[in-house]
Amino acid sequence: MQRRQGREATRGRRKTADAVPTTRPTRATSNGADESRNLVNSLSKGLRVLEAFSAERPEMTLSEVARAAGLDPGTTFRMLNTLVMLGYIARVPESRRFRLTLKVVDLGLHAIGRSDLRELSRPILRSLVGEISEAASVGVLDGADILYVERVRAGLIRLGVDIRIGTNIPAVSGVIGHAILAFLPPAELDRVLAMQPRRGELTVHSMPRSELLRTLETVRRQGYALQDSMFGNGLRILAAPVLDADGYPVAAVSVAAPAIRLTLEEFRARALDPVRAAAADIARAVQASGTVSAAV
């Protein structure tokens, strides 16, 4: 009798334990909401596949894409096939490799929305390339980043890094970024510095905030930014802001030349006046067109 009562008590405890619901912790945001419910995992994975391609990895096999995107091969296979069907990725003929298509470029250019600025600045940039520098660029502020919207190089020369239209770099880490940040209103500068830059193709450790603010004060006082590239590519960069009628920096113009050819002072002496003139020309063209906003 005692053994039977013991078995019944044990079964009762098991049923009670089975009846207790189990819960899994959820990732909560600072306001207590479960942010994961707003995340579309398949879209996130598809974008990771697109971002896996770069100038250094223009063509990849499925396994290489999976490794670069941090996904398993099965998921990568489905994402690649979907993107191929949608026209964003193409199979390289007679190989097992994949590459991005120009449809991705079109998507990026739509996002940039700066075809007018590109058209206005291109002939002006051409005048800067050659005797003065080996590359000239126009960049705009996009959040905490500088987005390159136009670039002209001398011939087919490849400089230390492959900056292209659509490349983004942290604004605090580039000379062209300093030329824009230095002329922002104080409240907007604080807002930009509080933001996190996107994960771009080029990354560099940024300088301490106190040093950055001193640098920006110097740039604001002299009207241009000049220093060796912070990406360690052996380039000297000079940049000047493109200011609208209210003195707001809608963009910046930069030129680059190998450091082994010119000292900083020699580069400044040769490039400063032409770059300032180019920035003023673009500013006048922008004001006349009346179609370029201050942000992307």
Any domain includes 22: no
The enclosing domain of 57 has a CATH number of 1.10.10.10
pTM of the model: 0.62
Any domain includes 294: no
Q: Which two tokens stand for residue 122?
A: 């291109």
Number of domains in the chain: 2
Calpha distance 111→23 (Å, rounded): 42
Range of the domain at 80: 35-100
The last residue of a domain, from among 100, 120, 145: 100
Q: At 195, is the secondary structure helix, strand, or coil? A: coil
pLDDT digits (tens), the chain, 296 positions: 545 555 555 554 444 444 434 333 444 444 444 556 677 888 999 999 999 998 788 899 999 999 999 999 999 999 999 999 998 999 988 889 999 887 776 666 555 545 578 888 888 898 888 767 788 999 999 888 898 888 888 764 555 556 778 888 889 988 999 999 999 999 999 999 988 877 655 555 567 889 999 999 999 999 999 998 876 567 899 999 999 888 999 999 999 988 888 889 999 999 999 999 999 998 888 777 665 543 33
> Is 187 found in the same domain as 42?
no
Any domain includes 139: yes
Any domain includes 5: no
> Is 146 found in the same domain as 80?
no
**pLDDT, position 97:** 94
> Is 282 found in the same domain as 149?
yes
The last residue of a domain, from among 49, 72, 100: 100
Any domain includes 4: no
> Is 174 found in the same domain as 58?
no
The enclosing domain of 208 has a CATH number of 3.30.450.40
Any domain includes 285: yes
**pLDDT, position 25:** 42
Any domain includes 250: yes
Any domain includes 3: no
Calpha distance 99→59 (Å, rounded): 5
**pLDDT, position 216:** 96
Q: Are 220 and 182 in contact (CB under 8 A)?
A: yes
> Is 161 found in the same domain as 64?
no
Q: Are 144 and 192 in contact (CB under 8 A)?
A: yes
> Is 168 found in the same domain as 75?
no
